[in-house]
């Protein structure tokens, strides 16, 4: 059973469209991270959120941590082909164990 | 600065064989970990270490051993490979877990036949 549920599992959109990826859990996390992974490479950290209700922006990417610190979302505005990849959320509970979601595969078509 | 280095990149093993996946980091990180990544399953923690001489089990430790004799190295040993261990393995390191950046290696593709 996945501690963190990501949805959708797959997302294919046209360049210029917006998209949102969700990460949900029944557990409370002290922090939540988002990673992007490209084929043949390891995941690369995009952002860490630690406060309930926190919103962080990274250029066209907006990350939100739920008020109860059980869920998070990643919104991409005007997606570009370079945004293609596997997006992973990961929750930390302060016990040295980071739990990952199964990931959302995003494909942006030119 | 090499970051996290994993070897080998690709390996094919026969059932029952043993092997070691090597991992080294040059960032003086105390925390190191091994994950396996399978389709639809995300990354699952195998073993982790919070410093030299200290290791602990993660979510899926069975069939794997680790040791941490130095801060830099954290090898993962498969004692008797099974087809269920066919996966992509990632080593990672960070100053701590949760709020700090975790740096991942490029992965090791292991096939057990």
pLDDT in tens, A9-29: 999 999 999 999 999 999 898
Q: If interface means Cβ-Cβ distance under 8 Å, which residues of chain B face chain A?
A: 4, 31, 33, 35, 40-45, 48, 50, 56, 58-59, 90, 92, 96-102, 104-107
Please provide the DSSP assignment of A49-86 as one string.
Answer: E-STT-EEEETTEEEEE-TTSSEEEEEESS--GGG-EE
CB contact under 8 A, A2 and B42: yes
Token pair for B99: 């709020």
Low-confidence ranges of chain B (pLDDT < 50): none
pLDDT of residue A5: 94
CA nearest neighbour of B103 among B4, B2, B26 = B4
Q: Which residues of B touch A43 (CB under 8 A)?
A: 43, 90, 104
Q: Which chain B residues contact residue A47 at CB under 8 A?
A: none
Q: What is the mean pLDDT of residues A71-95?
A: 92
Of the candidates B31, B43, B45, the beta carbon closest to that of A88 is on B43
Please tell me whether residue B17 adopts helix, strand or coil conformation.
coil
Which residue in A has a C-alpha nearest to residue B9's C-alpha? A40
Cis peptide bond prior to B75, omega within 30° of 0: no
- In the numeric block, the tokens 């690709």 are attached to B10
pLDDT for res A2: 54
Structure confidence at residue B40 (pLDDT): 80
Judging by beta carbons within 10 Å of its beta carbon (0-12, 13-18, 19+), is residue B16 exposed, middle or buried? Answer: exposed
Nearest-angstrom CA–CA distance, B106 and B54 = 24
For residue A48, give the chain B residue with the closest CA.
B99
Instruction: Using pLDDT thresholds of 50, 70 and 90, give the confidence band for residue A95.
Output: low
Q: Is the pLDDT of residue A1 over 60?
A: no
Q: What is residue A97's predicted lDDT score, i.e. its pLDDT?
A: 75
Closest CA to B23 of B113, B104, B101, B79: B104
CA nearest A31: which of A102, A89, A101? A89
Span A36-59, average pLDDT: 93
Q: Which residues pair with A107 in a beta bridge?
A: A12
What tokens were used for B27?
A: 């960032």
């Amino acid at each position: 059973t996945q501690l963190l549920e990501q949805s959708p599992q797959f997302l294919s959109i046209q360049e210029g469209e917006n998209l949102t990826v969700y990460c949900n859990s029944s557990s409370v996390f002290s922090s939540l991270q988002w990673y992007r992974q490209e084929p043949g490479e390891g995941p690369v950290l995009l952002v860490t959120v630690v406060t309930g209700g926190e919103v962080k922006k990274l250029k066209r990417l907006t990350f939100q941590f739920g008020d109860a610190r059980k869920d998070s979302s990643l919104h991409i505005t005007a997606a570009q082909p370079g945004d293609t990849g596997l997006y992973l959320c990961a929750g930390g509970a302060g016990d040295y164990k980071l739990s990952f979601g199964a990931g959302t595969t995003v494909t942006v078509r030119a | 600065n090499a970051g996290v280095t994993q070897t080998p990149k690709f390996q094919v093993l026969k059932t029952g064989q043993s092997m070691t996946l090597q991992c080294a980091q040059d960032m003086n990180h105390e925390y190191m970990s091994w994950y396996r990544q399978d389709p639809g399953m995300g990354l699952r923690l195998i073993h982790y270490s919070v410093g030299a001489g200290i290791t602990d089990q993660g979510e899926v430790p069975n069939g794997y051993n680790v040791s941490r004799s130095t801060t830099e190295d954290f090898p993962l040993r498969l004692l008797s490979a099974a087809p269920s261990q066919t996966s992509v393995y990632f080593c990672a390191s960070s100053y701590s877990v949760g709020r700090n950046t975790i740096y991942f290696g490029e992965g090791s593709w292991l096939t057990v036949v």
